[in-house]
Amino acid sequence: MSGLVYRSGASLFPQNETGRLFHVNGITVNKTTQTVESAAAGGAFHIEDVYPLIDGGRFAVKRIAGERIEVWADIYRDGHDVVSAALVWRRERDREWRREPMTHHSNDRWGGSFVPDQPGRYVYAIEAWTDEFATWRHGFELKKKAGVDLTLDAIEGAGMLTKAQAGGQAAATVILKQCEDFLQTGDAAPLLTPELKDVMAESQLRPDLTRSQLFPLVVDRPRARSGARERSGPWR
């Protein structure tokens, strides 16, 4: 292979980041917390028609602890790159976000859900970003069908693996194995596996990550539902 040089035991991942380190097959993988500040000012994506929402987020949505909350939104941007989205939430007093992936349904509509297990005050939001590896993969497959020479495209895809920020030991193992298989054989097949696509969706940089405003949520104890029905009819 030309264009990429690999030495066993050398790091395929950036060393100038801060975070938790993993060591896999002699290669150091850096786990860095990804933040939204890089795109906070620009807002690369439009996130609209969010449900559930009361008066644009002025008032808190009310739900019951332990019950699944469905969240929907229209998410779109200019261009044809592959988009990914996630639903994030936390208790109002906490600092760490929890997240669940959102699924694309039709047109610009995306959906996801989460389950708050304790009563209290929460906030939730929606994040969207360009899945650069999935965009590369889609373009590679189109060129392959067209019979175009893919040597440089394959090297580009492998290069994206070397910039990944692994989400954990298991993710690092998958990324490194597929990268090594490609570098040793020159065959692009290891770069196109569904397993690698899923791992890279969580492990790559997200320079255009955009987060919606924070939406308030009040989660009540289960008994609050029956009390609300007695006072004011069906729960909403």
Kindly report, residue by residue over 151-195, the tens digit of the pLDDT: 999 999 999 998 887 567 888 899 999 999 999 999 999 999 999
Q: Which residues pair with 69 in a beta bridge?
A: 114
Residue 20 pLDDT > 80 = no
The pLDDT score that the predictor gives to residue 178 is 95
Task: Answer whether residue 90 is part of any domain.
Answer: yes
Domain extent for 165: 20-35+132-203
Residues 78 and 151 in one domain: no
Task: Answer whether residue 50 is part of any domain.
Answer: yes
Across 57-63, average pLDDT? 96
Categorize the per-residue pLDDT at 224 as very low, low, confident or very high, splitting at 50, 70 and 90.
Answer: low
Residues 73 and 186 in one domain: no
Task: Answer whether residue 160 is part of any domain.
Answer: yes
Number of domains in the chain: 2
Strand extents, DSSP E, 137-214: 210-211
Contact between 123 and 69 under an 8 Å Cβ cutoff? The reply is no
Residue 7 pLDDT > 70 = no
Task: Answer whether residue 190 is part of any domain.
Answer: yes
Residues 125 and 217 in one domain: yes
For 65-124, the pLDDT digits (tens) are: 999 999 999 999 988 899 999 999 999 999 999 999 999 998 899 999 999 999 999 999
Across 48-68, average pLDDT? 95
Residues 182 and 161 in one domain: yes
Contact between 201 and 174 under an 8 Å Cβ cutoff? The reply is no
The pLDDT score that the predictor gives to residue 227 is 52
CATH number at residue 140: 1.20.58.80
Residues 25 and 47 in one domain: no
Task: Answer whether residue 231 is part of any domain.
Answer: no
Task: Answer whether residue 104 is part of any domain.
Answer: yes
CA angle 3, 205, 196 (to 5 degrees): 65
- Terminal-residue alpha carbon distance, the chain: 61
The pLDDT score that the predictor gives to residue 70 is 97
> DSSP label at 171?
H
Task: Answer whether residue 109 is part of any domain.
Answer: yes
The pLDDT score that the predictor gives to residue 180 is 94
Is residue 52 reached through a cis peptide bond, with omega within 30 degrees of 0 on the bond before it? yes
Residues 116 and 98 in one domain: yes
Q: What are phi and psi of 79, to 5 degrees?
A: 95, 180
Q: Could you tell me which residues come within 8 angstroms of residue 198 by beta carbon, excluding any fewer than 6 positions away?
A: none
Residues 140 and 181 in one domain: yes
Residues 164 and 185 in one domain: yes
Across 231-235, average pLDDT? 39
CATH number at residue 124: 2.60.40.10
Name the strand (E) or helix (H) holding 27: strand 27-31
Residue 91: Cβ within 10 Å count: 16
Residues 81 and 187 in one domain: no
Q: Is 31 exposed, middle or buried (0-12, 13-18, 19+ CB in 10 A)?
A: buried
- Checking DSSP bridges between strand 120-130 and strand 103-106, what pairing results, if any? unpaired
Q: Is 174 exposed, middle or buried (0-12, 13-18, 19+ CB in 10 A)?
A: buried
Q: How many angstroms from the chain centroid is the CA of residue 199?
A: 10
* pTM, to two decimals: 0.71
The pLDDT score that the predictor gives to residue 55 is 94
Strand extents, DSSP E, 52-164: 61-64, 69-76, 83-91, 98-101, 103-106, 109-114, 120-130
For 130-157, the pLDDT digits (tens) are: 999 999 999 999 999 999 999 999 999 9
User: What mean pLDDT value characterizes the chain?
Assistant: 81
Task: Answer whether residue 4 is part of any domain.
Answer: no
Residues 95 and 136 in one domain: no
Residues 53 and 113 in one domain: yes
Residues 27 and 144 in one domain: yes
